Structure 1
C-alpha cells in the first residue's frame, strides 16, 4: 500500500529496506498479518530485509508499528507520515475503492505469503472446540445418562 502517485517509487518488497523509505507496518505483537508479512519479507530479501524493516527501521524511526490496528497504515500514508506499508491485499483494494488517495502494489508470487498456517491453526482450533462441545453435549445428554444407568444395564 502506497500513497497515490507512489512518491517514493516503491516497486517491490525489497524497496522497503532502502534508507529513507518510511514505513507503517502491522505490529507483530498483536497483528496476525505481521507474521505473513515477515514471511514475505524473508522470501523477498532474506532475514536481512525482515530485520531492516522490523528492527533497524523501528529503532531509527523509519518504521512506525501500528499500535491499534493495521487500518492505521492508510491513515499514516494519507497524513504523509509513511511512504509505504504492507497490509492485507483486501485492505489496500478497499482503500482504493473508498476513493482514498491510496494505491496498491501487488507482491510478486515468489514473495507472497498466504495465510494457510493461520487457516490450518484455525481449523485445528475449531475442530478441537467442536469435538469438545459435542463430547460435553453428548456426555450430558439423557441418552448417555440412561446408557450408564441401572435401568439400561437391566434392559440390555
Structure 2
C-alpha cells in the first residue's frame, strides 16, 4: 500500500471547456491500466466541449446541478447522489447549470479522449456549446425527477 502524492488543483484547459473549470487528478493508472479518476469543479454555466471516451465515462454528482447531454439526446439534469454513464464513443457534453456550481463531480473511467476530442472538435458538428445554445429549449430538461 502507498499514499499517492497528488498534483495541485489546476485550471482546466480552455480548448476543452467553456467557462471556468478546475480539476484534481485523483488517480491516473500506469500502463497497462487505463483507469482514471478526476474531480472536476465547474462554475455556473461552465461546461465541456463535445467529446467522447473510448471506454465510456461515469459521472458522479457530489454537489450542485449538472447538465449532461448526448448528441441528439435529451438533456439530463443530475443532482447530488446521481450517477450518469455515457457508453464508449458516445459524443456528449456536461457542465454546470447556468445558476449553480457543480463541485466537485467525479469523472471515472478509462483515459479521457480530451486530446482527440479537442482535435476533432473543429470537425464535429456543433463544436463547443455557446451560452445562447445552453439556454435554448433544446438544452433544457423536459422533466426532472427531482422537485
TM-score, with length taken from structure 1: 0.23
**Greater share of helix residues, 1 or 2?**
1
Q: Which has the higher strand share?
A: 2
Rg comparison, structure with higher value: 1
TM-score by length of 2: 0.24
